[in-house]
């Protein structure tokens, strides 16, 4: 379980095998001092919003394996050496829940529609898959590439958020541009409310 508050930006340094749609192994370099403690084998780390299991690690890097299924349903299929990704370690007992509850299970792929300065922040707009649009509401929460964000407005299957300079500087939002694909995780509460409303006992 995660909060959507990014604690570091990692970089893909190696992909095995490169390209294709089969299972892949990623070597990820971590920023100096991240995460502030030793990374344990088997640990869960949210990598741009995708919960992945550490299979190998040493100071300054860790490795993960990703199935073809995950590659096909996330932006990880586009990762290559040099790609910058958002990192967040899993919650520990007693940690502050500063964002919202994020599972690391991506619901779909969205696309950046545009971004423009707005006062002291940046207004970003995204296009959702049609099937996810009913789960997104103004002032609700959503995770984009693992970043916990508050929705400003929703028009059809597009929505907008404002991102402050601190968030841009400490996530990979600085690398995004219109047309780029992003991992989307809808609010867990919205998912369960929709399930309750649609459930019809046999």
The region of weakest confidence among 10-14, 55-59, 79-83, 198-202 is 198-202
Query: What is the pLDDT at residue 190?
Result: 73
Contact in structure between 51 and 44 (CB atoms under 8 Å): yes
Asked if residue 40 has pLDDT above 70, the reply is yes
pLDDT for residue 4 is more than 70:
yes
State which fold the 8-89 domain adopts: Elongation Factor Tu (Ef-tu); domain 3 (2.40.30)
Query: How many percent of the chain have pLDDT more than 90?
Result: 81
Contact 121, 36 (CB under 8 A): no
Prediction pTM value: 0.91
Mean pLDDT of the chain: 92
Which pLDDT band holds residue 21 (cuts at 50, 70, 90)? low
Q: Distance between CA atoms of 170 and 80, rounded to whole angstroms?
A: 20
| Three-state secondary-structure class, residue 48 | coil
Residue 38 DSSP label: P
Q: What is the pLDDT of residues 92-119, one digit of tens each?
A: 766 777 788 899 999 999 999 999 999 9
Whether 8-89 and 108-198 share one fold: the answer is yes
pLDDT digits over 151-196, tens only? 999 999 999 999 999 999 999 999 999 999 999 999 887 776 766 6
Looking at the DSSP assignment, which residues form a beta bridge with residue 184? 108, 144
pLDDT at site 150: 95
How much is the pLDDT for 18?
Answer: 64
DSSP summary character for residue 2: B
What mean pLDDT comes out for the span 121-129? 96
Question: Domain residue spans in the chain?
Answer: 8-89, 108-198
CATH of domain 108-198: 2.40.30.20
Can you give 130-199 as a three-state secondary structure string? HHHHHHCCCCCEEEECCEEEECCEEECCEEEEEECHHHHHCCHHHHCCCCCEEEEEECHHHHHHHHHHHC
Query: What pLDDT score does 19 carry?
Result: 61
């Amino acid at each position: 379980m995660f909060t959507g508050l990014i604690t570091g930006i990692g970089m893909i340094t190696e992909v095995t095998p490169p390209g294709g749609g089969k299972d892949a192994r990623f070597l990820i370099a971590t920023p100096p001092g991240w995460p502030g403690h030793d990374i344990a084998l088997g640990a869960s780390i949210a990598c741009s919003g995708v919960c992945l299991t550490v299979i190998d690690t040493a100071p300054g890097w860790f490795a993960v394996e990703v199935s073809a299924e995950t590659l096909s349903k996330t932006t990880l299929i586009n990762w290559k050496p040099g790609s910058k990704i958002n990192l967040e370690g899993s919650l520990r007992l007693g940690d502050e829940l500063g964002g919202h509850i994020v599972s690391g299970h991506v619901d779909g792929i969205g696309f950046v529609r545009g971004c423009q300065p707005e006062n002291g922040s940046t207004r970003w707009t995204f296009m959702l898959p049609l099937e996810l649009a009913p789960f997104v509401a103004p002032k609700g929460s959503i995770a984009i590439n693992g970043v916990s964000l508050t929705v400003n407005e929703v028009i059809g299957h597009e929505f907008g958020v404002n991102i402050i300079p601190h968030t841009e500087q400490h996530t990979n939002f600085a690398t995004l541009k219109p047309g780029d694909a992003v991992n989307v995780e809808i609010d867990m509460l919205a998912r369960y409310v929709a399930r309750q409303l649609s459930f019809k006992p046999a």
